[in-house]
Structure formats: structure tokens, C-alpha cells
Amino acid sequence: DAGVIQSPRHEVTEMGQEVTLRCKPISGHDYLFWYRQTMMRGLELLIYFNNNVPIDDSGMPEDRFSAKMPNASFSTLKIQPSEPRDSAVYFCATRRGGAWAYNEQFFGPGTRLTVL
Amino acid sequence: EDQVTQSPEALRLQEGESSSLNCSYTVSGLRGLFWYRQDPGKGPEFLFTLYSAGEEKEKERLKATLTKKESFLHITAPKPEDSATYLCAVLNNAGNMLTFGGGTRLMVKP
């Protein structure tokens, strides 16, 4: 298994531009999570999906952030317009559904976003 | 609100010098406590899940323990390759969301 795949690995953009981050989950994993990691705030959950349906988006900081999961193999996190304070590493993580024992999440390599 | 506090923030050890990392938590019904390792430029890598007080799990030089208020990650005779940030997270009974601590950055010198 290739694990969780994220793209791009690095993104540098200018303030005001639209940014789209992509994630391909591990096959068979029913849950998908988007996190943001910064030095100041650590690892924060933004939103998560179960079977492609958004369940909790209370961590999404503002309306500039949106996430979609059109199918079981793909999810996007979009920031429009981007601001310098959005600079962070964004991680996608997935886990299996079913029995509660399968709660461990598997993380992708992350996308390092820099907004100038 | 669930809270997780890790200490120390940073720890420097000599190779072979055993020590422990602490994770204190408050949670509304613990479903599980998770330990992850994160190397620079990479995503967190799952290490252990602990489900109830008194439980212990081991992997190579690492041993995780759990009480009702905290968890410890014991590192026995560490090697330089154990250098990483170790993250602790809790999952409550209400849902599927992990709450992470700030991490402990471990540096092991040869």
C-alpha cells in the first residue's frame, strides 16, 4: 500500500491567490481528516469526512477554507483567498471504519504552504 | 473541552541515557490514547494505542504506559535514530476527533 498521498508537497503563493491541496486516502479507509500544523498552535483538526460526507468542520478557521470529498479516492482542501497567516503544513490522515479499535490514523507526508 | 499537555517540550539525552516523556490529559470519557512519532518534514507515524489505565505496550526501545490522568513514553537506552518529536493524542467517547498535545522534541546525541 502506498499510504496516504498528498500533493503538492510544497506550495509557495502570493496573498490573495487560490490554493488547492489534494489528498488520496489509503484504499478502504472510510474516514479522512485534514489537519494544520504550526509552531504556535501545534496540530489542529480542520475537518473530517466519513464515507465522503463532511461530519465536523468546526475547526475550519474561516469561510476562506473549504473542503470536498467527491469520491472515496480523493479529497481537496481549498483556500480562497489565501493570506500569509495560512502558512503552515497541512496534513491529510485516514483511518478504517467499523470497529472502534481501528482508531489509529495514518498521516500523509503533508503539504508545506507558504503565502507571501 | 479535551486537553493534552506534554512535557518536557524538548529533551536532550546522551546515547544510552534512559528517560521518560509525559502526556497529561483531561478528556470526557477516554476511548483511546495515541502516541505518534514525527520526523522533520514528515507526517506523524503511529506508534501505540492505549485503551485503559494500567495498560502497557512496547516496541523496541519504547514502552508506553497509561494511568487515569497521564501517559508515559519510556525510552530505554536510546539511540540517535530515536531523535524525533513525539506526539500524544486522546480520543473521547463522543466522536472520531483526536486532540493532540504540543509534542516533545527528543534529541539523542551519540
Tell me the pLDDT tens digit for each residue of A63-85.
999 999 999 999 999 999 999 99
Are B32 and A48 an interchain contact pair (Cβ–Cβ within 8 Å)? no
* Contact residues, chain A, for B44 at CB < 8 Å: 43, 91, 93, 107
By CB atoms closer than 10 A (0-12, 13-18, 19+), residue B38 is buried
* B44 alpha carbon, distance to own chain's centre: 11
Tell me the pLDDT tens digit for each residue of B37-89.
999 999 999 999 999 999 999 999 999 999 999 999 999 999 999 999 999 99
The tally of CA atoms less than 13 A away on the side-chain side of residue A40 is 4
Cell 498521498: give the residue: A5
Are A110 and B42 an interchain contact pair (Cβ–Cβ within 8 Å)? yes
How far apart are alpha carbons A59 and A49 in whole angstroms?
13
Tell me the pLDDT tens digit for each residue of B30-50.
889 999 999 999 999 999 999
How far apart are alpha carbons B19 and B77 in whole angstroms?
8
* Contact residues, chain A, for B31 at CB < 8 Å: 100, 103
